Every structure is written in C-alpha cells, then in structure tokens.
Structure 1
Amino acid sequence: MTPLRFDTTRAPVLFIADLHLDPQRPAAIRAFRHFVETRAPSAAALFILGDLFEAWIGDDAQPADDPVAPALAALSAKGTPVYFLAGNRDFLIGPAFCQAAGITMLAEPTWVEIDDEAVLLEHGDALCTDDTAYQAFRAQVRDPEWQAGFLAQPIARRLEQARDLRQRSGEAMAGKPAAIMDVNAAAVRDRLETWGVRTLIHGHTHRPAIHHLDLGDGAGRRIVLGDWFEQGSVLRIDHGTARLETLSFEG
C-alpha cells in the first residue's frame, strides 16, 4: 500500500494524543477546539494517535451535543486531513464516528513518509510489554468477539462496565512501579527493526520527550507525545524539524 507522504517545507504536520476529552473537563475541550480552529488549519495533516476521549463505549452512545466531531469535521472541510488510530481508551471508535468527524481511521501501527523518511506511528500501549497483566487485558478487549459482545449490550450496561473497568485500571496502576508502565526498550528496537524505520512516534505514557537511539547501524528517534490534562501537547514537524509544543488551557 502506498504510504501517506508529506513535505514539511510546504506545510507542517501535527501530532496529538492522550487528550482524554470528557464533559467533566471543559477546559480541555475548549483548548482542543481552539487548536483545531486556529492552528491546525495551516497544517498539511493532523494525526491523532489514540485516546482522543477518556472513554468510548460505541458510536451509538455519542451524545448529540458532543462538540468534538463537528470541530474535526470543520477542520477537514477546510482542507486539513485528519487521521486517527485508536488508543486504549477509545478503541471502540467506529465508522459512524469517523464519518461524522470527517476523519480517516488508520491501522496500528502504520507508517507514513515525512520528508522522504519512513516514520512509524502507534498509540504506544502495545510497547509496554513489561506490564504483562495489562497486555493480557489488552488482548482480551481488542478481540473482535469480545467487542461484538460488548457493543451488543444496552448503553446503560456498557456505561456501568466502562466505569468499573476504569476504576479497576486506576487501582491497578496505583500499585505498579512507574517503570513497568513505560515502553520496553527491546520492544521499541524490535518494532523499528521489523518495520525498517528509524523514527517512531507514539503516545500513551504521558511522558513527552524526543529520545535519540543507537540502533547499531545508525541513529534513531522515539518521539513521545504528551497528554492534555494540565495543558495541551502537540508535536510539530516543520521544515524537517520535530518540536514538542505546549498549549495553555487559558487560551
């Protein structure tokens, strides 16, 4: 399949992840809308690498007054394509939401070409291989049969289960060492070697940084996107330079 290709000397490419948008956090939603209305329209593309929402229990449960899909649809209508791959909070986003938001769903992982360089994109949770309990849970909820069974339940029941899962997840995280919830270095190296790339962009860990890697046969990079809890976080690749930028929730 022909990859998406971008020349950042013409226009920048933007990446965000881990917004965890929720009606209980209106400041984050306002910041997101301001971003897509004022900064994203000048980009060649916007990539959302998972966890756009705090939780997603199915396209049929989307509130009628949700402002996120219309904001993304307006951005797409202005000529900036929006690409999305699922995270561990919103892996049940489906075709109906994507159509309403005017976004394109990507497989995970996926690779794109930026300034003639192959760049691998993923959410990042699959790389946290030291957390074996989480990986078992991930395999369960990503199973198509499990998803079909979950989506077949009434919305009220799904909401109840989602709340229970979030509570148990929070309790489990509280008892784990921080290191176990970060990516595994060997898993990162294996991913880069398998795909034949030198740059990986991901989110999930909420630890924004640009890591420079020694791949043995040359240098590599692992770029980690930040979350949107206290402020916004954007990766901007412009004229071949990658920069992590923060956005204030104050406007």
Structure 2
Amino acid sequence: MDIYYVHGEFVAEDQAHISVNDLSVIRGFGVFDFLRTYNGVPFHLDDHLKRLERSARLIGLKLPHSRAEIKGIVEATLARNDHQESNIRIVVTGGLSSDGITPGDSPRLLVMVTEVKKMPAQWYTSGAKVITSHVDRFMPGAKSINYIPAILCQNEARNQQAIEAIYVDRNGFLLEGTTSNFFAFIGDALITPPCDRVLPGITRQVVLTLAEKEFPIVERQLHKDEIRLLDEVFLASSVREVVPIVHVDSIQVGDGRPGSRTQRIMQLFRDNTVSFQG
C-alpha cells in the first residue's frame, strides 16, 4: 500500500485523513502541484516547488514549510514507497478557519506518492482527439484545487471520445488543456500560447527548451479560427508527456496522422527523460 505524508506523519493510504473542517473541504481553498519520476528521480522538483510557492502566493495561502523543507519531505515520502516510477502530488490545504472562510495559520501539507500508470499506446502511435470548451480559467497562474470547470470539460471530452478539452476564452483564443499545455506547428514554427494566459507548465518549458534547438518558437495567441491552418498539434503534461493530436473537435489536423515534427519533439523528450538524473 502507498505511503503518504499527511501534516507531519507518514501514513498508509487508507489511514490518510484531514479534518472535515479544513478549508480545502468546505471551501475548496488550497493549491497543489504534480510531477513524476524518471529513473526514480523527481522530474524538475525544484521548478515544481517554485510553482507551488507562486500558486500559494497568488491565492494568499501561506505555506507551512520552506521550499527546502518540502523538498526533503517529498524525497522522504518517495523513499518510503517502492515503485519503479512514481507520481508525486503535493497539496497545501487551507487548514482550519475561525469562521469557516477566512484562512487561519494552520495550512496542511500532503504528499501523495503513487505508481505511474502507462497511457494508451495508441495515443502516441496514431494520435488522439481533443475538443474545445469555452471556459476562461480563473487565475490561470495558480494551480489551485478548484477543478470544477476542468471536471465538467473532461466529462464532455470523454462523451466525445476525446482525451482532453482545450479552454477557449471569450474572444475565441485557444489557451490550454484542463491538465496540459497546447502546442501547434504551422510549417516549422512551433506555436504555443504565452505564459501570461496559461498555467506555466514545467513540461511545457522542458519541451520549449528542447525544441528551440531545432525549431523557431513563437509564443502567441492562437485563435479557434486558425485550427484548420495548423499542420500539427500536440499536448504536453507530466502525466501524458508529449501526445500527438490528430483531431480538434471535428477538424482533422494535417493528414490525420502524427506529424514528423511532433514525432521529433516526442523523441527529444524521450531522450531527455531516459537520461534524466536530476
């Protein structure tokens, strides 16, 4: 059974509890971050912890430990589990409140380590489908635990045999997936929405760093009307890594197969993670 860290204690998953009066439960107030290991090593842990700090700062939540202390707790929790590769979810809850809404001084840290599950191989060999959803993410720079819009959009995606929903703002611009960043090729130019409009994904930044050696990078808004002009599309995230997309809504992307440029990005990412040592 997986071992979690819960507010000062390492406990078995079925013994992991927090108060029902925690603000995360009664108000949905909290932040989290998510990453995985490669070769047993947390992938860009420092970057994820920096983002956790930023998320907490944006919503006015005080972290219960320093970044260095949280890093040590993550590593200690990982060491108590025995998976070939692990997912790591770091959650900071709002803690208890004197009036049930005002944050107090008792935020709680949770670290949950689980086994990495493989995604369907067909996504990577044949490509997948996404849909678009007209939703403006509240405070996109913060990775908060408020996932109601994402859950609703994901349910609709599943209903349409898609693996993800891409948020579209009120002006028709494509933003990001519910749990991923969005990329497209027009010719050799790799295009992705700018960071001030989306959550700054850690995998997103790794992809851009790898890709800039071979492709011109353009960070700009992409309008929904441009979908038919896109030669290739892919998503990037900690869970899915790099996934080629061959349909957006009912529109076929390119020739309906993973494109050569996307396959090159996939290879660059694989090479990077295979050799990752921190």
Alignment TM-score, normalising by the size of structure 1: 0.29
Is the radius of gyration larger for structure 1 or structure 2? 2
Greater strand percent: which structure? 2
- Which is richer in helix? 1
RCO (CA 8 Å, sep 6+): is it higher in 1 or 2?
1
